[in-house]
Structure 1
Amino acid sequence: MATRSRCPRPLSLPCCCLLLLALGSPGFFQSHAVEVDVKDLSNNTCIYAKWMMSFLIKYETNSSEYKNATLKPSTNVTHDGSICGNNTHAPLLAIQFGAGHSWSINFTKTNETYQGNIISFTYNTNDAAFKDAKTKGPITIVVNDTMHPVQLNTVYKCHHLDSIEVANVSLFFWNVILQAFVQNGTVSKHDSTCEADKSTVAPTTIANLTTTVANLTTAPITTASSPLPTTTSKPVEKPLIGNYSLKDGDKTCLLATMGLQLNVSQEPVLININPKTTNVTGSCGNTSAILRLSDSNRTFIDFTFAVKNTSANTQRFYLKEVNITVIRSINGSEPFNAGNNNLSIWDTFLGSSYMCQKEQTVLVTEDLQIHTFDLRIQPFKVQDNKYAKAQECSLDDDTILIPIIVGAALAGLIVIIVIAYIIGRRKTYAGYQTL
C-alpha cells in the first residue's frame, strides 16, 4: 500500500508555473497529445499529466438545423489557471486552446487515494468551426469525472478510449498518464492501470470482429512471435430490430423502427447496433429533427431529417445528414468519425411515414456504410403515438412487377407476330416464278 503523500505547501493562484508540450499523433481526428507538468514555487512537480482528447459538439444553425463540430487541442495550447492547490483551492489542471476554448479538472484525495472530481469544458461558438451557429459566444458544461479512485503515489494509466456525454457534447479521452498529488516533486515509478486496459480478449483477426462495439474489449497487440490463429469467419447475423422514439413534452414527436448495421470497410469490421443497449436522444422541430442513437457509449449515430417544399407546393421530409462516431476498442485507438451532410433519401410526403422492409445501404463515406433492415421512420407530425400511412420504398413495391410482366408478355407477342409475318411473306414469294 502506498504511503500517504505530503501536501505541497499552500500556494496562491499565481504561484504555480507549468510546462506544456503538444506532440503530434496520427489518427482519424489528427489529435495531439498534451503533456502538462504543474510545478510549485520551489519548482517541484505537483501534477503531471499526458493525454489525448477530442470533443464532438452538436449545435443549432441559423436555419434551425443541427450540425456537428469537432474540436481538439492543437499546438497553441496554454495553461493559465493550473494550480497545485492549498487549503482553500483544490489542485486544478486547466488548458486553453483554439478560439476561446478551455478545459479543466480538479482533484480530491483521501488518506490513501486520489481521483478527478469536476470537469469543466467551455467552447466558443465564435470559432470558425461554428460559423453558422445560431447562438454566438462561450458555452460551458460541467460534469463529474468518471475516473475511479487511484492509490496515492501511483501513476494512473489508461490507453483505452473513454467518453463522457453531457448535453450536446461528447468528450473523448485516451492514452491517459496522470498523477495528482505528486510526492516530493518526483513522478512515481508505480503504475495503476485502468480496468478497461486489464480486460483483454484472445488475439483474433479484424475480420472476425463482427459483434457490437459495446461487446468489444481492448485486444492485446500481436507480435511476430505470436502468430494469429487460423479461424473460420462466422456469417454476421442480421441486427435486432429496435423501436426508437422522441418526445416533445408529453407528446411523441418522432418514431423510428429499424435494424442497423455499420460496415467500416477500412478495418474491415461489421457492427450490429443492439437496441437493448442503445440510448435515444435528439430533438424535434417544425423543419428539422435529429435522432441520436448511442450504443453503450461506444457508437454514436446522428440522423438529421429536414423538410423541403416541392414545385407542386407540397412539403416532403427526407434524411439530409448522417454523422457517426465509433469508439474502437482495439489497443485504445482513436475514435472513427464519418459524416455525410448531402443526402436526399427516405423521401416522402410530410405527415406520412417512410418504410423499407428490405435491406438498404446508406453510403456515408467510402469507408463507412449503414445497412438498414425493416426500416420505418416518421420524424414529423406524429399523431397519437402511431405511424401514419407509409410510403413504401421501390424495393418493397411488388406491384411494379405487374406492368413489367405484362409489358414483357406484350413485347414477346409482338415479336412472335412479326416473325410469323416475315416467314409468311417469304413463303408467298417463293410460290411464284418469273415467266
Structure 2
Amino acid sequence: MKSALIILSCCIVSALSLARHGKPPATMAPAQGFSPKPDPTPTGKLTTPAANGTTGSVSTATSATTAPAPITNTTSPAPITNTTSPAPITNTTSPAPITNTTSPAPITKMTTAPPTMTPPKPNPPADLIAGDYRLMKGKIVCLMAHVALQLRLETPKASGTFVVQPNKTRAVGECQENRANLTLVFEEGFITFMFNKSSAENIAYVDTLLFNLTYPLSNASGHYAAANMSLRAFPAKIGHSYACRSDSVYMGNGLYLDVKDDRMQAFDLTPSGEFGVTDHCAADQPDYSVAIGVGVTLLVLILVVVVVYLLGRKRRTDGYQPL
C-alpha cells in the first residue's frame, strides 16, 4: 500500500511538471500491478527542462529522488601506530661485576720448624705448710717427721723456689737397725733423707740428703738434681727428737733445701708413737750471754756507786777538827 502511494505521488509530480512546461513526456510506461514487494524505484525517462529553457530527456534513476550515497569514511584515520614508542630500556651503565682485585694470594704450606712449647712459668711463692709424715715397721712407728720444705735456687743469673705441698706428697721408705730413709714423693720429683744411728756417740742424724726436681725454678724450664752425702744435719740424742724453727742446707750449684718448723725423729720413738724429749738446734737454744753481760754491767755500776759514796763520806769526816 505504501509502495502504491509512493508511485502515485511520483506520477502526480510528473504530470504537474509536464503541465507546467507544456510538453508531455516522450514515453510513459504503463502502470504495473502491485506485487507483494514492488520495487520502490520507478523506471522510465523523464524530460526535464534544460538550463537554457529547452526540454531534454533524463534517464530514469533507480529512485524518484537521488538517494544519497552511502556514507563512506574516505578519510578514516590510519590506525594509530606508536611511531615514537620508546626504545626498550637497556642498562647501558650497569656496574661491572665486582672482582676482588686485592684477594690474598693462596696459602701455600711452607716448611716450618716444629712449634716450640713455651715452658711453664714458676708459680708464685706459696706459704710454707708443715706436713706430718711417718714410716711403720710392722705395727710400730719407726720414723716420724713434722716439717715444711722448699727447694730454692739462688744464683746471680736466676732465682726461684718450689714449695712442697703436704696434701700432694706421700712418704715412702724403710727403717733398719742403724739406718733409715724417708723419701717424700710429689708430682714434680722427690726428696730423700738418710738417717744414721751412731750408738758409740749416742746420736742420730742425717748424713745424706738428695733431691730430684723437674720444675722451672727460674723463668726457663729446668731439671734439677743434687746430693750431699757428707752431712751431719738434724742431730739429736738417740731416743730424742730434733727441733728447729728454720734450717737451710746447701746442696751445691746455688741450690738450697729450706726446712721450716722442723721436728723429726728416726729411732727409738716412744711405745705410743710419740716424739721423745726435744733437742733444739743451736739457733733455737736460749742465749744467756746478753743476760750475763747486763748483769755484770749492773754489778760494776753498783760497785762504782758504793765506792763513790764511801769516798765522799770519808772526806766529810776529815773536814772536822777537835777543839
Instruction: Identify the TM-score tier after normalising by the shorter chain.
Output: 0.5 to 0.7
Cα RMSD of the aligned pairs, angstroms, is 3.3
Change (3 A) 1:419 1:366: farther
Correspondence for 1:365: 252
1:385 aligns with 2:273: yes
Correspondence for 1:270: 161
Change (3 A) 1:293 1:418: same
Distance 1:239 1:373 in 2: 8
Which is strand-richer, 1 or 2?
Answer: 1
Correspondence for 1:253: 142
- Say which of 127, 132, 136 aligns to 1:243: 132
Distance 1:264 1:248 in 2: 36
Give 1:199 shift: 7.2
Distance 2:222 2:126 in 1: 27
Q: In percent, how many aligned pairs have the same letter?
A: 21
Distance 1:210 1:427 in 2: 73
Correspondence for 1:301: 191
Distance 2:143 2:282 in 1: 23
Change (3 A) 1:247 1:192: farther
SS of the residue aligned with 2:127? coil
Distance 1:199 1:245 in 2: 38
User: Contact 2:207 / 2:233 at 8 angstroms: preserved in 1?
Assistant: yes
Q: Which amino acid aligns with 1:289?
A: A
Q: Which amino acid aligns with 1:350?
A: I
Q: Which amino acid aligns with 2:165?
A: N
Change (3 A) 1:316 1:190: same
CA offsets per residue over residues 119-142 of structure 1, 9 Å max, x none? xxxxxxxxxxxxxxxxxxxxxxxx
- Say which of 256, 271, 283 aligns to 2:174: 283
Correspondence for 2:13: none
Change (3 A) 1:331 1:366: closer
Q: Which amino acid aligns with 1:372?
A: V
Structure 1 segments (4+ residues) deviating >4 Å:
189-193, 197-201, 329-334, 403-406, 421-433
- Say which of 229, 253, 261 aligns to 1:341: 229
SS of the residue aligned with 1:387? coil
Give 1:200 shift: 5.6
Distance 1:248 1:372 in 2: 25
Distance 2:170 2:214 in 1: 16
Give 1:374 shift: 1.6
Q: Which amino acid aligns with 1:257?
A: H
Give 1:282 shift: 1.7
CA offsets per residue over residues 280-306 of structure 1, 9 Å max, x none? 22221111111111221x232111111
User: Contact 1:338 / 1:365 at 8 angstroms: preserved in 2?
Assistant: yes
Q: Which amino acid aligns with 2:251?
A: V
Give 1:210 shift: 4.9
SS of the residue aligned with 1:359? strand
1:374 aligns with 2:265: no
Correspondence for 1:114: none
Choose 1 or 2 for highest CA Rg: 2
1:413 aligns with 2:298: yes
Q: TM-score, normalised by structure 2?
A: 0.53
Q: Which amino acid aligns with 1:408?
A: G
Distance 1:386 1:421 in 2: 56
Structure 2 segments unaligned to the other structure (5+ residues) = 1-110
SS of the residue aligned with 1:326? strand
Give 1:340 shift: 1.5
- Say which of 206, 216, 238 aligns to 1:319: 206
Distance 1:417 1:258 in 2: 48
SS of the residue aligned with 2:172? strand
CA offsets per residue over residues 304-342 of structure 1, 9 Å max, x none? 1111244xxx52101111112221347985522222112
CA offsets per residue over residues 204-228 of structure 1, 9 Å max, x none? 6xxxx354xxxxxxxxxxxxxxxxx
Distance 2:112 2:136 in 1: 50
SS of the residue aligned with 2:276? coil
User: Contact 2:119 / 2:221 at 8 angstroms: preserved in 1?
Assistant: no
Distance 1:191 1:256 in 2: 50
Distance 2:240 2:220 in 1: 44
User: Contact 1:210 / 1:272 at 8 angstroms: preserved in 2?
Assistant: no
Distance 1:288 1:366 in 2: 28
Q: TM-score, normalised by structure 1?
A: 0.41
User: Contact 1:260 / 1:273 at 8 angstroms: preserved in 2?
Assistant: yes
